[in-house]
Structure 1
Amino acid sequence: MLEKVGTVSKNILFGFVVMLSLSSKLVAQNKQTQFNGFGHLEFYWDRDEDGRHASFSIGEHDFFVNSSLSDKITFIGEYVIRFNSKSATTYLPSIERSLLKFNYVNNHSIIVGKVHTPVNYWNDSYHHGRVFFPVIDRPLAFSYFVPIHTLGLQFQGQNLGKLNFGYDFMLGNGISSTDVYHDSVVPSVTASVHIKPREGMRIGASYYWDDLHENTPGVHSGHNTSIPVPIDQRYQGPVKFRMTSFSFAQFGEKFELLSETGFNNSTTDSTGTAKNFFQFVYAGLNVTEKSTPYILGDYVNVADNDIHVYPIHRLKVAVGYRYSFNYLLNMKVQLEKSWEYEHAFHDHATSYGGPFLRVQLAYGF
């Protein structure tokens, strides 16, 4: 069995090599096609009840293709190789985005394919290349609530009018789907709007609607259970998932601020409606063009009656420093600490992590 898995992995990796070779030829033959790569390396040190630990690791490596097929049609492809302990080689590739965009008039477009679900600033602005992240990793909500990807049909408008108004409306496979199968005839619905009243600022809001036929999140949904629950013991019935999000971003020459707020209702036949909440705040000060110290706070509150994610109350705080050698190479140093609570903020912490020291070198090529 392991030999077969190893053979499949080798074939997939060989396909990536062929894709890279063909992409390089396309770049040489057609200047309208661009191929880029992004990756990162990390070191972390921590101390817990079992003692001290230190480790180096290779992070995700992201291969990005952007091609103008005509004056009106563009293609974006994003392919990631990441660590996976279940693989014979401990690394597996995946298709993160694959879409065609048709700009049918002015800045109004129709998009078909697999996209980052347009629910907040972070998911709209950043791909898997950590070199563009203001901090080391994504907010905690991306592990529990945010439907990171959607495969379907999207209508989009950008930079409209004096306020640079933008909108996204999308119908697609829901949280319980995979890239090739959706277990219901009813699609998920995403609706979002934003404005950019001045340079570097964006204010937005979104609503996400999905009815899971069964409580079986797909591989790209971003939904994990908060605690290890055996598959045969998880709730298997339908889930009504609703999420409202608000974003505020200001990335100026001196000061950077990003706030991501979300409210989620998950309703099941067994426990009723669970009301959940998440909040991420980042603030950075550009001391020089290359040097940025920052702080962040990240909180997730999953209600006690939630049987989609399962109850958890997590808080993470961190101080960090980012040094940008140039726009394709930076280093981040982050000291962080996290807590898990039984019943939100007012009760005692049942466990904690850290302090952790993390160092990340992120690059593009």
Structure 2
Amino acid sequence: MSNKRHFLICIALWGWLIVLSIYEAQAQVRQTQFNGFGHLEFYWDKDEEGRHASFAMGEHDFFVNSSLSDKITFIGEYVIRFNGKSATNYLPSIERSLVKFNYVNNHSIIAGKVHTPVNYWNDVYHHGRVFFPVIDRPMSFSYFVPLHTLGLQFQGQNLGRLNFGYDFMVGNGISSTDVYHDSVVPSLTGSVHIRPKEGMRIGLSYYWDDLHDNVPGVHSGHNTSIVIPDAQKFQGPVKFRLASFSFASFRDKFEFLNETGFNTSITDSTGTARNFSQYVYAGLNVTEKSTPYFVFDYIDVADNDIHVYPLEKLKVALGYRYSFNYLLNLKVQLEKTWEFEHFGHEHKASYGPFLRVQLAYGF
């Protein structure tokens, strides 16, 4: 065998070994996890028409977390939920789909659809109710909070002694869909927080968006306070601004979460509407598995708001959570809701008490 042939065979063997080494290294780095989360509920209530009791199947969340390399990860979150407009009463949706590149230390660039980083709740919890400290989200998530944003995010985590973090994002606004934004002006989000102690986080954020025609997208979380036919809704542009403050402390014995929101909705028709929301959760870990808790949830939408429309509402709840383990818990919640006449803050209507029971699980 000639020296040239020997040389070519050695080169081929070395090349093959290098390919195998690269593949093995990638195989060690690349890890994909599939998780699922869901919940079942039972509720009992009483209104003017009498008593009602019903079982319900909640949304089911399929969660994908994959390490594509030592610096690049992928997160996907796909939910199947009730929708009365579909033939089967259930429809799937893409809640998150993002690629994260950790380019240096704890600084990352994220591209895709994310939970808009405006407060602790939206930043920390996904759609798996098993991780919620209570049965459902704050009321502000139905009116003020821009739940999702599709775009580009710059993020830093656990920086310095105070574990400083930041999120700056540019993306599609409230009136967009997942495939289209009706304006050349994107939404902007700026958020900072610190974690001075284990289990504690303090954060501030500001969200800026100009709605082109006051039509919220399907994943914005923005509903009107009353049922209004589309032809009668305000159709002009809305300048939407939201400042948020969060304080969270989840320690061994005591859990506390405060979410405060200040919103302005500016239109040429009615000027500046100033809105406010306040959410407080407090829980006492009597044992490692047993947690009684209290919820105070308040929202106030100004009289001249024509994005959400006037609303003043208060919900108070007492609850109990029993955690069989970190992937299975049972929550029982007794709640009552009041609505008020907006001009004089007089009592308008009350609803409840409602009894709600939720079994939440992961798999």
Which position in structure 2 is the counterpart of 1:312?
A: 311
SS for the counterpart of 2:58 is strand
Between the aligned partners of 1:31 and 1:185, the Cα distance in structure 2 is 37
Which position in structure 2 is the counterpart of 1:208?
A: 207
Unaligned runs of 5+ in 2: 1-26
Unaligned runs of 5+ in 1: 1-27
SS for the counterpart of 2:278 is strand
Which position in structure 1 is the counterpart of 2:349?
A: 351
Q: How far did 1:196 drift?
A: 0.1
Q: How far did 1:347 drift?
A: 2.5
Which position in structure 1 is the counterpart of 2:256?
A: 257
SS for the counterpart of 1:141 is helix
Between the aligned partners of 1:159 and 1:319, the Cα distance in structure 2 is 34
SS for the counterpart of 2:231 is helix
Scaled by the length of structure 1, what TM-score is found?
A: 0.91
Which position in structure 2 is the counterpart of 1:167?
A: 166
Q: Which amino acid aligns with 1:341?
A: F
Between the aligned partners of 1:49 and 1:250, the Cα distance in structure 2 is 40
Is it true that 1:240 corresponds to 2:261 in the alignment? no
SS for the counterpart of 2:142 is helix
Between the aligned partners of 1:283 and 1:186, the Cα distance in structure 2 is 40
Is it true that 1:34 corresponds to 2:37 in the alignment? no
Q: Which amino acid aligns with 1:70?
A: S
Between the aligned partners of 1:39 and 1:155, the Cα distance in structure 2 is 31
Between the aligned partners of 1:247 and 1:353, the Cα distance in structure 2 is 28
Which position in structure 1 is the counterpart of 2:340?
A: 341
Q: Deviations over 1:42-88 (max 9, x none)?
A: 00000111110000000000000000000110000000000000000
Q: How far did 1:34 drift?
A: 0.1
SS for the counterpart of 1:334 is strand
SS for the counterpart of 1:131 is helix
Matches within 5 A, 1:1-365: 32-343=31-342, 347-365=345-363
Q: How far did 1:30 drift?
A: 8.8
Could you say if the C-alpha distance between residues 270 and 352 of structure 1 is closer, same or farther in structure 2, counting changes exceeding 3 Å? Answer: same
Q: Which amino acid aligns with 1:362?
A: A
Q: How far did 1:350 drift?
A: 1.2
SS for the counterpart of 1:124 is helix
SS for the counterpart of 1:179 is coil
Q: Is the 8 A contact 2:29 2:67 kept in 1?
A: no
SS for the counterpart of 1:122 is helix
Q: How far did 1:351 drift?
A: 1.3
Between the aligned partners of 1:114 and 1:347, the Cα distance in structure 2 is 39
Q: Is the 8 A contact 2:30 2:68 kept in 1?
A: no
Between the aligned partners of 2:340 and 2:303, the Cα distance in structure 1 is 12
Q: How far did 1:31 drift?
A: 6.6
SS for the counterpart of 1:215 is coil
Q: Which has the larger radius of gyration?
A: 2
Between the aligned partners of 2:163 and 2:94, the Cα distance in structure 1 is 31
Between the aligned partners of 2:185 and 2:36, the Cα distance in structure 1 is 36
Between the aligned partners of 2:83 and 2:216, the Cα distance in structure 1 is 18
SS for the counterpart of 1:180 is coil
Which position in structure 1 is the counterpart of 2:5?
A: none
Q: How far did 1:252 drift?
A: 0.2
Q: Which amino acid aligns with 2:155?
A: Q
Q: Deviations over 1:199-230 (max 9, x none)?
A: 00000000000001110000000000110000
Between the aligned partners of 1:264 and 1:347, the Cα distance in structure 2 is 20
SS for the counterpart of 1:309 is coil
Q: Deviations over 1:282-305 (max 9, x none)?
A: 000000000000001000000010
Between the aligned partners of 1:349 and 1:194, the Cα distance in structure 2 is 38
Between the aligned partners of 2:83 and 2:29, the Cα distance in structure 1 is 35
Between the aligned partners of 1:279 and 1:56, the Cα distance in structure 2 is 30
Scaled by the length of structure 2, what TM-score is found?
A: 0.92
Q: Which amino acid aligns with 1:361?
A: L
Q: Deviations over 1:254-280 (max 9, x none)?
A: 000000000000001110000000000
Q: Which amino acid aligns with 2:359?
A: L
